[in-house]
Amino acid sequence: MSGRILTFNIFRFDPQDAGDKPKMVKYQLEETSGMTVFIALNKLRQEQDPSLQFDFVCRAGICGSCAMVINGFPTLACRTLTAKYPKGEITLMPLPGFELIGDLSVNTGKFMRELAERLKLWLHPKSDDLNIHRLEDPMDPEEAARLYELERCVECGVCVSACATKQMRDTFVGAVGMMKIARFELDSRDGRSADDFYHVIGNQDGVFGCMTLLGCQDNCPKDLPHMQQIAYLRRKMASTLL
């Protein structure tokens, strides 16, 4: 037990309270060994301020609920150890680019559902004649492994919050949208053609809006290859014009 005193500077704002104004509030807490931001925030809420709003679900880096900006960098709070900060000063802000629910809680779910509906982010099978009682169609084992690699996105919203294009253009689909398009584009079971995808993201809201600043790739907690996928989609989209 190290027992040092941590200082948390936390963004507080309740948009539903007409009289409330955004502010930073300072809290102090004794550090325990293995403490994560998840543990710290729960302790603060239970012991110091029961109104503090934040989101966690799996607390294991799997579900993507708890993304927030920690000392300037967007990341998953559940797996961020407080020991990582030698000065013991931790500033917490909500993810930018999403509707604020309150304090550190933002509505990523609403954003992701709308994105999925807009880009039709589901498998469009080549054939409707799929019989679940018969042997499944074979699939190249390497293709399956490649698809899984791209599918590991947890919709945490970090890439969106770290994207300068998204800050300027609200309709930009962000790395998360392109990663998912790439995942379905690569899937041999999907019946959509390159043209179909071009109509969805072959524009300034999609691959041609990206400024390649790579905030997405630098901050993605799942280390997804965003740069590679965006470049791949650009080449693919450009080739449909020929």
Partner 1 sequence: MKLIYTDCLVVGAGLAGLRVAIAAKERGHDTLVLSLIPAKRSHSAAAQGGMQASLGNTVKGLGDNEDVHFQDTVKGSDWGCDQTVARMFAHCAPKAVRELANWGVPWTRVTKGPREVVVNAERITIEEAEAAHGLINARDFGGTKKWRTCYTADGTGHSLLYAVDNKAISLGIPVHERVEALSIIHDGERCHGVVARCLITGELRAYIGKSTTIATGGYGRIYEVSTNAIICEGIGQALALETGVATLGNMEAVQFHPTAIVPVGILTTEGCRGDGGLLRDKDGYRFMPDYEPEKKELASRDVVSRRMTEHMRKGKGVDSPYGPHLWLDITLLGRKHIETNLREVKEICENFLGIDPAKDWIPVRPTQHYSMGGIRTTPTGQSPQLKGLFAVGEAACWDMHGFNRLGGNSLAETVVGGMIIGKYVADFCDDNDLVLDTGLAKRYVDKVRAEIDELIEGKGTENPWELKYAMQRVMMDYVGIFRNGPELDEAVKQLKALLARSVNLGVSCKKRHANPELVEALRVRRMLKVALTVACGAAARTESRGAHAREDFPQRNDKDWLCRTLASWPDANALEPKLSYEPLDVMQMELPPGYRGYGADNAIAHPDTAKREAEIAELLAALGPNASREARQQALMPFELPESLTPANERLADRLNGLVNTETTGSPSMPNIAGDDNS
Positions in the binding site for partner 1 (CB under 8 A)? 1, 14, 16-17, 33-34, 36, 45-46, 50-53, 55-65, 79, 81, 101-102, 105, 108-110, 112-113, 116-117, 120-123, 125, 130, 132-141, 143-145, 147-148, 151-152, 154-155, 184, 187, 189-190
Q: Which is nearer to partner 1, 83 or 227 (CB)?
A: 83
**Which tokens belong to 170?**
């609200």
Beta strands at 5-12 and 89-93: parallel, antiparallel or unpaired: parallel
**Which tokens belong to 5?**
């005193």
Work out how close the CB of 169 gets to partner 1 at its nearest, in angstroms, rounded to a whole number.
24
Work out how close the CB of 181 gets to partner 1 at its nearest, in angstroms, rounded to a whole number.
13
Angle 141-225-121 (CA atoms, 0-180°, nearest 5)?
Answer: 70
Work out how close the CB of 8 gets to partner 1 at its nearest, in angstroms, rounded to a whole number.
17
Q: Which is nearer to partner 1, 27 or 184 (CB)?
A: 184
Q: Which is nearer to partner 1, 130 or 213 (CB)?
A: 130
Work out how close the CB of 155 gets to partner 1 at its nearest, in angstroms, rounded to a whole number.
6
Q: CA 102 → CA 28, 43, 53, 115, 221, distances in Å?
A: 21, 18, 6, 22, 23
Q: Which is nearer to partner 1, 87 or 134 (CB)?
A: 134
| Alpha-carbon span 225 to 228, nearest angstrom | 6
Residue 233 contacts residue 182 (beta carbons within 8 Å):
yes
Residue 88 contacts residue 42 (beta carbons within 8 Å):
no
Work out how close the CB of 226 gets to partner 1 at its nearest, in angstroms, rounded to a whole number.
18
Q: Which is nearer to partner 1, 140 or 170 (CB)?
A: 140
b/e per residue, 125-156, with b = 16+ CB within 10 A? eeeeeeeeeeeeeeeeeeeeeebeebeebbbb
Q: Which is nearer to partner 1, 165 or 217 (CB)?
A: 217
Work out how close the CB of 63 gets to partner 1 at its nearest, in angstroms, rounded to a whole number.
4
Count CB neighbours of 218 within 10 A.
Answer: 14
